[in-house]
Structure 1
Amino acid sequence: MKTKLSCPCGEWIEGVDEDDLVARTQAHLAAAHPDLDYSRDEILFLAY
């Protein structure tokens, strides 16, 4: 299960499970990078 992701902007995002990680990453993208939109699969591809 992937629960961590490092955004290229330097933000570390961690979730308790993959669903939480995706939700937290999408919230970060909406707040910090509104021009970017990644799918669940794309987020999990970048996660570890």
Structure 2
Amino acid sequence: MKTRLNCPCGEHIRGTDEDDLIEKTRAHLAEKHPDHDYTRDEILFIAY
């Protein structure tokens, strides 16, 4: 299960599980990178 992601902007995102990580990543993207839209699979591909 992947629960961490490092955004290229330097933000480190950590979730309690994959669903939480996706939710937190999408919130970060909406706030900091509104022109970027990634699917669940794309987010998990760069997560670890």
Normalising to structure 2: TM-score of the pair? 0.99
Task: Structure 2 unaligned segments of length 5 or more: list them.
Answer: none
* CA distance in structure 1 between the aligned counterparts of 2:28 and 2:21, rounded to whole angstroms: 10
Large movers: runs of 4+ above 6 Å: none
Unaligned runs of 5+ residues in structure 1 are none
2:27 paired residue number: 27
Deviation string for 1:1-34 (max 9, x for gaps)?
A: 0000000000000000000000000000000000
% same residue: 71
TM-score (norm: length of structure 1)? 0.99
